[in-house]
Amino acid sequence: MESSLAQQRGSVQRQAKTAGASMLPWTPPTASAPMERSSVMFQPQCDPIAQPELSDMIDSASSKNGVDPSLVREVARQESGFRPCVVSPAGAEGLMQLMPATQDQFKVADPFNPVSSLEAGTKLLKQLLDRYHGDLSLALSAYNAGAGTVDKAGGIPQIPETQKYVSNILSRLEQ
């Protein structure tokens, strides 16, 4: 476990160095000020992206990829709380919590860059919506648990985290 944490911290520190000003005021964790761990994600110290800037980025990614901006916003809210520096215990990184394989698939050089993260996360949402013929529950399940898990389950998998994830996003979209 400590080895995994050290690898994640190292990854975050390397990404922060290359991300430049977009990461400020994030401070890499140290032994005296480690990342706090919740049941879902590590939350390094960085502020959420300001709403006017976030809205512009979401609108741009959404229009390029044909995805409802409200959906992109709610996925980003659920995944990271709009914090671009978040790293999950599973290794998902950034605003849209992209796994390394997804980062490679969409050629994301810096998962902590919010524009790159939103672009790739929105492309992934579009692919999943197409794969599941517009079924939002299945697309969200696949975003959270992976398409293979959804396919194997034949629907929303019986994973409490995934069920809560889908329910939370759908309920906010209905408001």
Nearest to 95 by CA among 129, 67, 66, 61: 61
- What average pLDDT does the segment 107-124 reach? 98
Residue 159 lies in a domain: no
118 has a pLDDT exceeding 70:
yes
Domain that holds residue 86: 2-131
pTM of the shown model = 0.76
pLDDT value for 4:
41
130 has a pLDDT exceeding 90:
yes
Structure confidence at residue 44 as a pLDDT band (50, 70, 90)? low
Residue 95 lies in a domain: yes
pLDDT tens readout for residues 149-172: 999 999 999 999 999 999 999 999
Residue 163 lies in a domain: no
Domain tally for the chain?
Answer: 1
pLDDT tens readout for residues 46-93: 999 999 999 999 999 999 999 999 999 999 999 999 999 999 999 999
Residue 16 lies in a domain: yes
45 has a pLDDT exceeding 80:
no
Which of the residues are catalytic?
79
Residue 33 lies in a domain: yes
Write down the mean pLDDT value for the chain: 83
Nearest to 98 by CA among 73, 71, 82, 116: 116
Return all residues near 65 (Cβ < 8 A) that are at least 6 apart: 119, 122, 123, 125, 126
Residue 94 lies in a domain: yes
Contact 53, 35 (CB under 8 A): no
